[in-house]
Chain A
Amino acid sequence: MIPYAVFLVLFVVLPLFVIISYAFTNGNGEVSFENFIHFFQNRKTIGTLLYSTAIAVLTTVFCLLLGYPVAYILAKGEIFREHSLLFLFVLPMWINFTLRITAMKEILTFFEGNLAYHPFFNTVFCMVYDFLPFMIQPLYNALTKLDDSMMEAAQDLGANRLQVILKVVLPLSIPGIVSGITMVFLPSMTNYVVLDLVYNSTYIMGSLIGSYFSAYDWHNGSVISLVLLLIICMITFISNRLTRFEPEPETKKRRTA
């Protein structure tokens, strides 16, 4: 218990406290909201927020659209019920991602010539490539846990293949979808290394923090970190709500009444 508490204080509470204190102070060490006002009034930061949200949303959507069928086939397909195939998709996760992106950069350069002409496309493309395994893994887990008899029951009651997927598989794999989205959405808002590696001149939230910090502006950098933290909290809150698809049993209340 105690080592855990020490760990928690040292690596979670303290850094958070440092970030918060930086965010709410100015260069002279006085408490102020200047940094926040600066963030929300500055067109550049708001623009970056929107831009990276767009990237993150697109990346997540593509990862989901690509990852779901793959996870489904891996988990439920009759021919592919082999762990070795999942392995094939998870394997890239074990290669350093800068290496992977550098390799992808070469491929993109071959097709596009100058990478600077398609910054948005390149960013989304590389992020989808990078984060796809993070989407597949939780989806695969959720789908393998899904009892085959559920699908058989739906079929038995008259559902065709598509109806089985829409009415049973999809709703029952929502927990997997939610955790896949959280796994992909957040990194794709902040992982500016991907952008840097493909010689990108555009900015996402991560790059913004990076640029503030490298200019020793801890205060504005911390504000952005806090804003991101807030977004994370919101997404987690919403997804927790979504995952709990059955409401608390009503009968319990009735019994006590």
Chain B
Amino acid sequence: MGNDILIELKNIKKVYDQDTLVVEDFNLEIKKGEFVTLLGPSGCGKTTILRMLGGFDKPTEGTILLDGVDITDLAPNQRPINTVFQKYALFPHLNVYDNVAFGLKLKNMTKFERDKKVRKVLELVDLEGFEKRSIHTLSGGQQQRIAIARAIVNEPEVLLLDECLSALDYKMRKEMQLELKSMHKQLGITFIFVTHDQEEALTMSDKIVVMADGEIQQIGTPEEIYNEPANLFVADFIGESNIFHGRMTGPKKAFFCGAEFNCVDPYQKGTVIDAVIRPEDIKITEVEKGQITGEVLSADFKGTFYNVVVRSGKTEIEANSLKYYEPGTEVGMKIAADNIHIIPYDNSINHYDGMVYGYHEGKGLQVAFADFTWYVEPERVFPGASVKDGVVVDASGNAIRVDDVRVEAYIAPTDMKLSDDAEEGVITGNIVSFLYVDDHYTYTVRTKSEEDYVVDDVDLWNQEDFVSLVIPEDKVTFRVVRS
């Protein structure tokens, strides 16, 4: 595999219908011959990136370079790139031969040469002799292969694959994964694959680009992505994981889940952290040998192991074990230092830029932040301030400027609550993501104006749920931002 860069995506931004941001600040380099997977939940912008590479969409901002040449505005038919579409997009009015030869017929090529190429590529996808067959007589797996054949027969430099395995059943998908991988090896061209299936991504790729919300969360090899997730989203999205909230108690020492653990990540003492531990990395022991102890709640058979759920205090912990444990049994648990992955806590959540728009007699200071415009007591924004003769003054009695003052508002996730009664809360939105941390769920709620609110709640809600946010007004804190 060469080290030279084939594709460069620089500062890509894509906005649909003037206001829907799908991709932002997207930077990626793809090497020649690499198998790169764009992985993320639906709506994360991965297909948009692929479409921009194929030329079907144009980025609102940014450039795409192929071999150092700007191809951002090139039409799809002018790019040495071919696509395998999600639903294959085979032409129903043409037979297998005409489908595969579609691209070749548009080039000046003798019939002899064309026939030879079609025969060769059909052999490669294991469908020799299918030339005369009509598309409708093919199974899903065969259509898939024809779609691949139709793309690679043109000998592109890059092959784009858009969730093209998702329509196949489980076994077929597994088989195609391996076949695609060996095809990639055989052809030596760059494959860019889009999927929402993490297992698929881990199996096939040289490099995985994890995306969420139109932004890259992490780029790395499958091992890096799995073992060293850059943030909680990646940790939760890829594989199973236990997430515990805690803090560093010393260099390479972290306290979470009611105990202190040795770890390998050297963060400063006192840093608020989340610890990510895979179920297979938690070893169930006898009670006295465990770093933490708990009671077995359930043990489900998973084929090669049991998925054991243990409750320690209020926290539920998942561990994989080869042995079966009767629910109700007291057990201990041990976690090796290098199996604990520490992620520093994201301090920016629930901080909102705001503005003070003057003092209104009888109402208070007008503060606008996020989705709200509230009237609050002046001393909540300016500590020590009071009102004298309708003017806000500081502790020493001097008037304070209260017009157009930048502030930052903060609400702790634990201070908010979710409700399904739209009237109960102050604003409504949809749950865009959630994680199970310690003994509660952490939800991200997005309102219509695209503001995100992170809320801790013990009840289980679902992705996309429409919820009402209960924010106690007195729990919001304000801080003046000095520029």
Within 8 A of B (CB), among A188-235: none
Within 8 A of A (CB), among B290-325: none
Interface centre among B56, B81, B85, B102 (most CB of A within 10 A): B102
Contact with B along A150-170 (1 / 0, CB 8 A): 101111111110010001100
B82 within 8 A of A: yes
B93 within 8 A of A: yes
Beta-carbon contact of A158 and B77 below 8 Å: yes
Contacting chain A: which of B130-138, B219-227, B422-430, B448-456? B130-138
Inter-chain CA distance A149–B75, complex, in Å, is 15
Inter-chain CA distance A156–B75, complex, in Å, is 9
State the Cβ distance, A32 to closest chain B Cβ, in Å: 49
Beta-carbon contact of A157 and B89 below 8 Å: no
Within 8 A of A (CB), among B115-142: 132-137
A30 within 8 A of B: no
Beta-carbon contact of A163 and B85 below 8 Å: no
Beta-carbon contact of B87 and A246 below 8 Å: no
Number of A residues, CB within 8 Å of B = 24
B92 within 8 A of A: yes
- Which partner residue on chain B sits nearest A153 by CB separation? B89
Within 8 A of B (CB), among A57-88: none
B214 within 8 A of A: no
Number of B residues, CB within 8 Å of A = 30
Chain B hits for A157, CB < 8 A: 77, 82, 102-103, 106, 150-151, 154
Chain B hits for A17, CB < 8 A: none
Contact with B along A7-43 (1 / 0, CB 8 A): 0000000000000000000000000000000000000
B86 within 8 A of A: yes
A56 within 8 A of B: no
Contacts known (A159-B106, A246-B136, A249-B136); A153 close to B87, Cβ less than 8 A: no
Beta-carbon contact of A159 and B77 below 8 Å: yes
Beta-carbon contact of B93 and A246 below 8 Å: yes
Beta-carbon contact of B154 and A245 below 8 Å: no
Contacts known (A158-B103, A249-B134); A150 close to B77, Cβ less than 8 A: no
Inter-chain CA distance A245–B135, complex, in Å, is 12
B91 within 8 A of A: yes
B107 within 8 A of A: yes
A247 within 8 A of B: yes
Beta-carbon contact of A149 and B86 below 8 Å: yes
Contacts known (A158-B103, A158-B106, A163-B106); A147 close to B87, Cβ less than 8 A: yes
B76 within 8 A of A: yes
Q: Which residues of B contact A (CB under 8 A)?
A: 54-56, 75-77, 81-83, 85-87, 89-93, 102-103, 106-107, 132-137, 150-151, 154
Considering the complex of A and B, which 8 residue pairs feature the smallest CB-CB distances, nearest first? A157-B103, A153-B89, A149-B89, A155-B76, A249-B137, A158-B106, A171-B93, A158-B77
Q: Could you write out 22 A-B pairs with CB less than 8 Å apart? A: A150-B89, A152-B83, A152-B89, A153-B85, A153-B90, A153-B91, A153-B150, A155-B55, A156-B77, A156-B81, A156-B82, A157-B154, A158-B77, A158-B106, A158-B107, A159-B77, A160-B77, A168-B91, A246-B93, A246-B136, A247-B134, A249-B137
